[in-house]
Each structure stands twice: as C-alpha cells, then as structure tokens.
Amino acid sequence: MCLAVYEHNPPRAIFEFYNSYTPNQQPPESTRLMMLSSPQNQLDVGTIDCAAFVSIDSQRFRYVLNLFRNVEKVDVAIMPSKVIFRSPGRTMFLYTEDKQCIIGGIGAGKELGFPISLNPTTFFNDLITIVDRVWLYLTTKLVSVIAAPIDLNVRIETYFIPSTV
C-alpha cells in the first residue's frame, strides 16, 4: 500500500493498493483518489479518549477483517472481559482471559458500544502488515477510531463519523 498526499488546490490523497508480485512482473494496482477537505470544512471530531479502549494483535484483527469482509457497518461492544463485533448474520467474540485482546477503562457491568467500517478491506489488510496491534477508541465527540501505531511518533488513525456529527 502506498499513500501519497499532495498539497495542490484542492488538496488530495492517493491510495494505491497492490498485491505481492514477482520482480519481473508489474504490480497489479488499484488506485483510489480522495479529496481532502480544507481546514475550514473539517469536522470537529474531538480528541481520542484513551481512558477506554480495546487493543487487538494484528493477526487476530485479520480474523475480524475476514469475517466482516464487504460488510458496510460493524457494531463493536466492549465489556470488561470481552469485545463483540456484530453485523447482521455475523458475530465474533474476543476474550481477555484467552489473551485475544486487551481491554482498559471499562468498569464491571459497563459496556461501550460504537460502529466501525472495515472497508476497504484491502486498506486494513495492508495496514496490519506494518503494525503489531490496532487500537479501538472513541473520541470526546463520540466518534469511533481505529488507531494503528507504526512507531513511537507515527500512527494511522481512521475515524468513523456518525451521521449526527
């Protein structure tokens, strides 16, 4: 996956998704152009609230991606000892006691729920090849976030803005 951000007018980002290929072949590519909004048009999504979260190993997150491939909306429910991913006809549980995830900031008897989208699946599959874990949070404005730390100073954040923001 390649991401290029161009500061033209209007600013835009180009995502290139490609599969593995042998050196003597051309990479099969799928290019997507995204227009970036100007600062005056950006929504206030708040800041990430790190008090409550779920963290999932990249390889385990791949199972989530595969189960919910081509599903537009996945509901996430985080409880003190498990996280549930749901969409019509599909459900996946991850448990802290089985070391399938790390959960913090959810008190006994409490639940934190929010929707995410795992599309384009290619983007998330490529993303988890360069990170060890993904983190799911909410912001102070109740916008859900998937954060993928690449190193100490760099992380990719994907925000899922509800229609009411």
- Sequence ranges of the domains in the chain: 2-40, 48-160
pLDDT digits (tens, 9 = 90+) for 18-31: 555 555 665 555 55
Decide the pairing of beta strands 82-87 and 90-95: antiparallel
Share of the chain above pLDDT 90, in %: 56
**Using an 8 Å Cβ cutoff, are 84 and 162 in contact?**
no
pLDDT digits (tens, 9 = 90+) for 99-123: 999 999 999 999 999 999 998 888 8
Sequence-separated (6 or more) residues with CB below 8 Å from residue 81: 95, 96, 97, 103
Is the preceding omega at residue 149 within 30 degrees of 0, hence cis? no
Given this model, what pLDDT does residue 44 score? 78
Q: What is the pLDDT along the chain (165 residues), one digit of tens a residue?
A: 555 555 444 555 555 555 555 556 655 555 555 555 556 556 778 889 999 999 999 999 999 999 999 898 999 999 999 999 999 999 999 999 999 999 999 999 999 999 999 988 888 999 999 999 999 999 999 999 999 998 888 888 888 887 654
Structure tokens at 34: 């995204």
Sequence-separated (6 or more) residues with CB below 8 Å from residue 148: 127, 128, 130, 131, 133, 134, 135, 155, 156, 157, 158
- What topology is assigned to 48-160 in CATH? DNA Polymerase III; Chain A, domain 2 (3.10.150)
